[in-house]
Structure 1
């Protein structure tokens, strides 16, 4: 199975197969909501989501195009309406089923996905760099304190 952690998705495009609705659908192996619910795995996949659970978030989903992550799903949640909160998702703006997509649509979706991925990756790397910088600053301060203590002895 592909590593669908956000880091791997952003750095290695480990979710590349999720452009197909059938692959998104197949990711929902342990989805709790079935027929009679708005939040079925079929509706989730149709809305662009695939399941990428973590140890603490078993219902974490992510859109293949805009990378919006959502969790805390309820049986009556409408995946399309919930996803529409992400106003910049081209997949939703097209309002087409997978069968209705033209070659131009697919190319535009991939272009939008690339832009969204680069934006998310930039933010992700910026956060990582800031966290690393904080660690380095703490290490430098520790070394300075130890050096001052050594001089006093």
Structure 2
């Protein structure tokens, strides 16, 4: 499953509230046995497998949109997730996925949207800074 822009990924991940859908995304996951980062453990921690040509082991959290690659067999998905996004709602869940209420899902979706807006805004600000630097450089060279 290949995902493009952050916006496309955000919309595509709407279906990933389903553990089964997340698990299905790991069909070609390189780590299956004798490891901590099995497809089941990755899906439990909110990850979706989104490989690319250059990175066959890229996984992205469908809530916080944090993308991780370079997995090793003994990497613990919960630990790796919490190192990079300790405030991700997936990590703060006190229930199993199949025990969540409608209210829990609504809250998770609200948090997912918040992470998307933050990430998208940061990307747009980076683009703006880059264009500003290019413009300033152009003006200085006139």
**Residue 65 of structure 1: CA displacement?**
1.1
Q: What residue in structure 2 maps to residue 110 of structure 1?
A: 109
Q: 2:14 aligns with which of 1, 13, 16?
A: 16
The separation in 1 between residues aligned to 2:17 and 2:126, in whole angstroms, is 27
**Residue 2 of structure 1: CA displacement?**
6.2
Q: 2:32 aligns with which of 26, 34, 43?
A: 34
Structure 2 regions of 5+ residues with no counterpart?
none
Normalised TM-score (structure 1): 0.80
Normalised TM-score (structure 2): 0.86
| Structure whose alpha-carbon radius of gyration is higher | 1
Query: Which has the bigger relative contact order, CA under 8 A and spacing at least 6?
Result: 2
The separation in 2 between residues aligned to 1:2 and 1:107, in whole angstroms, is 26
* Cα RMSD after superposing both structures: 2.0
Mapping for residues 70-109 of structure 1, pairs under 5 Å: 70-85=68-83, 86-109=85-108
Q: 1:52 aligns with which of 50, 53, 66?
A: 50
The separation in 1 between residues aligned to 2:103 and 2:82, in whole angstroms, is 22
Q: What residue in structure 1 maps to residue 65 of structure 2?
A: 67
Label 1:138 to 1:7 Cα distance change in 2 as closer, same or farther (>3 A): farther
**Residue 55 of structure 1: CA displacement?**
3.0
The separation in 1 between residues aligned to 2:134 and 2:12, in whole angstroms, is 29
Range with greater deviation from structure 2 (65-74 or 40-49): 65-74
Matched position secondary structure for 1:84: helix
Matched position secondary structure for 2:12: coil
